[in-house]
A and B are shown apart, each in its own frame.
Chain A
Amino acid sequence: DSGVTQTPKHLITATGQRVTLRCSPRSGDLSVYWYQQSLDQGLQFLIQYYNGEERAKGNILERFSAQQFPDLHSELNLSSLELGDSALYFCASSAVGTVDYGYTFGSGTRLTVV
C-alpha cells in the first residue's frame, strides 16, 4: 500500500456520460498530480494541485476538470466521455518542497468507455 488511495479501481461507463475519480493523497502530502495512461502509452500529465490551488496544467481536455478539497483529497471529473478516454488514470502525491524525492503513485482507476 503506497498510502495514495484511488477509487474506484475499475469503472465502465457509456459514451456521453460523466464520471468522477477520487484520490486521497498520502498523509501529510499537499500536492496532488493527475496522469492519464492509455494502452501502451506513457504517463500524460493532466493537472497538479497544491493545498487546494491549481498549480500546473498539462494536456487536459476542456471536458475534464479537477479540484482539491480542504481535506486535501482530489477529484477528477470527466464529462461527455468518448471511447478514446478509456485509459488508466493515476493520482500521485508529494510533500512540500520534496518533489525531487519523487511522487508516490496510487494504483490507478481503469476507465472503460463503451
Chain B
Amino acid sequence: GQQLNQSPQSMFIQEGEDVSMNCTSSSIFNTWLWYKQDPGEGPVLLIALYKAGELTSNGRLTAQFGITRKDSFLNISASIPSDVGIYFCAGHRSNDYKLSFGAGTTVTVRA
C-alpha cells in the first residue's frame, strides 16, 4: 500500500520555472526512487538514491535523499512542456519485497 505522503498533489507551472516536490514517510527507507509517468504510458525510473544526504542529478532533474531517511525531494529546473506528467516517489525498506509508492504529483506546464 501507499505509505508515502507526496506533495503537492498537483501543480501548474510556467515554462522556464524551477519546481519542487517532496515525499515524506513515518518510516525509514533505505532507497528512494523517483518515477515519471507520461499520459497513457507506464512509469519510467528517473533517479535512484541510496544514501542519506545523497544528491543526484539527471539532466534538469535533481533529487535528494533526506538526512533522516524519511523524506526525499525532486527538483526540476527550467521546466519545459515535455515535463508534463505524473511524478511518483517510491521507497524501499530493508526486508520488504516491494516498493511503497506515493500518490503522485501531477505537473501541468503553462506555455
Q: Which residues of A contact B50 (CB under 8 A)?
A: 100
Asked if A99 contacts B2 (CB within 8 A), the reply is no
Check A43 for interface membership: any CB of B closer than 8 A.
yes
**Are A56 and B2 also in contact (CB < 8 A) when A42-B103, A102-B90, A108-B41 are?**
no
Number of residues of chain A lying within 8 A (CB) of chain B: 29
**Are A102 and B48 also in contact (CB < 8 A) when A2-B42, A43-B88, A45-B1 are?**
yes
| A43, A58, A105 pick with most chain B CB within 10 angstroms | A43
Asked if B41 contacts A107 (CB within 8 A), the reply is yes
Check A18 for interface membership: any CB of B closer than 8 A.
no
Check B31 for interface membership: any CB of A closer than 8 A.
yes
- Cα of A15 to Cα of B78 in the assembled complex, Å: 46
- A36 to B: closest C-beta gap in Å: 12
- Cα of A48 to Cα of B99 in the assembled complex, Å: 11
Asked if A48 contacts B98 (CB within 8 A), the reply is yes
Number of residues of chain B lying within 8 A (CB) of chain A: 26
Residue of B nearest to A58 (CB): B1
Q: Which residues of A contact B90 (CB under 8 A)?
A: 102
Asked if B43 contacts A99 (CB within 8 A), the reply is no
- Cα of A9 to Cα of B2 in the assembled complex, Å: 26
Q: Which residues of A contact B92 (CB under 8 A)?
A: 99-100
Asked if A42 contacts B97 (CB within 8 A), the reply is no
Asked if B88 contacts A102 (CB within 8 A), the reply is no
Check A106 for interface membership: any CB of B closer than 8 A.
yes
Asked if B42 contacts A90 (CB within 8 A), the reply is yes
- Cα of A45 to Cα of B2 in the assembled complex, Å: 8
Check B28 for interface membership: any CB of A closer than 8 A.
no
- Cα of A65 to Cα of B97 in the assembled complex, Å: 20
User: Assuming A33-B98, A100-B31, A108-B42, what are 9 further A-B pairs, CB within 8 angstroms?
Assistant: A2-B42, A40-B106, A55-B98, A90-B42, A102-B33, A102-B35, A105-B35, A105-B44, A107-B40
